[in-house]
Chain A
């Protein structure tokens, strides 16, 4: 960790990473204090301004109930940020631990893991998640369960491969000859060297998680109305797309920008965390 901090201090951050972090900072600011930025209550109806196009009063226009799209898009940032984090942290942690375990011990556990991976990757990711949510019932909590149940596989596979590489390194042999305990070798020596690709993947995966959360919200399986969530907003506006395209346009742009923010950050992080030998 100190190495990374020293590296960050020692050289200028690349422009893409700065751009990515700036986009994410905006999202975090919206989450922490939506009232500061939103001109209206995102749930308040205004029957005097139904489906009004972007104007000075409503910068992003309003929907069929007269709700301010700008305020709703800002309010939705909190939910989508939560989705981005939870839908990667849960599968990331679970998958990394499993990957560490099967990578280090190998043998039967690894063989079983291999078949499990084969099984999961046979199905499209989204189809599996939708199937699980359909069984458990719609809602954000069940969506997280479904994403974790499927998504851990990708993290575990990544971590396992990296552990196998590190395990054969002579510094690990040296640690064994020094009589270090297995948990110490795994968590203090292998993990810090193996975690980089997983971290980078997780940040990039957050972009996909936002798309996934929005897709499920759109399908009515994720966040439930009237909660403002970008996917839900788009679903709400889909019937008015030809007459009031601003209802879907601005939440859509928010999804794209948030995704871009995570992608740029992920790429920048990959460079930053690169270890020098």
Chain B
């Protein structure tokens, strides 16, 4: 594996709210290599989006962030604001779930691309305009020159997402942080956007962290996956290994709950119970109360991440008792 581009080490995010502290992210560690696509997957409340937003320090003031986010040897969590601004939107860019709220509704798309170019390059006006047209073409927006002068509301949902991707690409980032970029889109449009993102990754050699709740999106697009539950990292590893040979009971249960595993019309295997509330930290494994593999120590001792194969780590006492899924997958 190539040397990591981004290293997230023991990231913790605690929100102070009126009802007390919420431990949204609780000791998350992962790496992203150059040109690699990492999927950050979990259900609502798992802390996946908070983790992503903590990387470029996009969280609000009520969030207390600790740990280290190393980018080319410097810790993004501690560098001065000025240096951070140069990196944010430059080498590290972000794509959001709701393009309509992430784009400025009163500025034409072209001007929003131009802003990034002004901030992160020293191109002159004509060069910037050429670059903006080039970018819209790159993300598959036809007749780019006229589209530059249009406002976000004149774009359809899929086109807005393309425009936002164009803006994020403006300064040729080395890392794209994508927060559920296709969740709000229809399936044929999602397919187009995922195709586009994959193309960009392979053509521009970008790395990408893709936050999603859709295991199908992970399986089709990511090199590696990190599974989160209740603010903690359960399992991380190459997609093939994690999907075919899950080493965490939660990953296993999540994969089993999906339709398509058994025969049509057969009963699915839901995960019993509810996702935990994250306002009080649990001593043991957060998934233990819902886990069919749980043993007594799961509720008292917190399992640590352990390697089961090169690059495949899991924090689960039942790791070796989980069945392989590869036969089912082949059937």
Indicate whether A and B are direct neighbours in the complex (CB within 8 Å): no
Q: Which residues of B contact A (CB under 8 A)?
A: none
